[in-house]
Chain A
Amino acid sequence: MPDTSSTYKEDADLRLRLQSLHTREAAFAELVALYKERLYWHIRKMLVSHEDTDDVLQEVFLIVWRKLSDFRGDAQLFTWIYRIATNACLQFLRKKKRRFFFAYEDISTDLYAKLESEPYIEGDAISMLLQKAILQLPDKQRLVFNMRYFEEMKYSEISAILTTSEGALKASYHHATTKIKDFIQKHTGETFDLETP
Chain B
Amino acid sequence: MKKYKHPYQMPEGYLDKFDTQWIAKNNQGYSHKSYLKPMASIAAIAAAILIIILFLPNTETQVPTDTQSLLANLNEQTVKHYLIGEDISEDELLEYADINLQKQFKKLDFSNTTKSEIWVEEWLEQEEEWLESTY
| A residues at B contact (CB < 8 Å) | 29, 32-33, 36-37, 40-41, 44-45, 48, 50, 52, 54-55, 57-59, 61-63, 65, 67, 70, 83-84, 87, 90-92, 94-96, 99, 101, 120-123, 126-128, 130-131, 138-141, 144, 150, 162-165, 167-172, 175, 193-195
Contact = CB atoms under 8 A, between A and B. Distances in A.
Interface in B50-100: 51, 77, 80-81, 83-88, 92, 95-96
A138 to B, nearest CB: 4
Given A59-B30, A140-B86, A32 B19 contact: yes
Interface residues of B, number: 47
Given A40-B10, A138-B86, A164 B30 contact: no
A96 to B, nearest CB: 7
Contacts of A130: 4
The 5 closest A-B pairs by CB, nearest first: A123-B7, A171-B96, A138-B86, A195-B1, A168-B81
B86 A92 contact: no
A61 B22 contact: yes
B81 to A, nearest CB: 4
11 contacts: A32-B19, A40-B10, A45-B8, A58-B21, A90-B131, A127-B6, A130-B4, A162-B84, A167-B81, A167-B96, A171-B81
Contact of A91 (B1, B84, B85, B128): B128
Contacts of B107: none
B107 to A, nearest CB: 20
Contacts of B13: none
Given A165-B81, A175-B92, A126 B4 contact: yes
B4 A127 contact: yes
Nearest to A129: B4
A17 to B, nearest CB: 18
B26 interface: yes
A126 B6 CA distance: 10
B6 A95 contact: no
B84 A122 contact: no
B105 to A, nearest CB: 13
B106 interface: no
B22 A127 contact: no
Nearest to A66: B135
Contact of B84 (A70, A84, A95, A141): A141
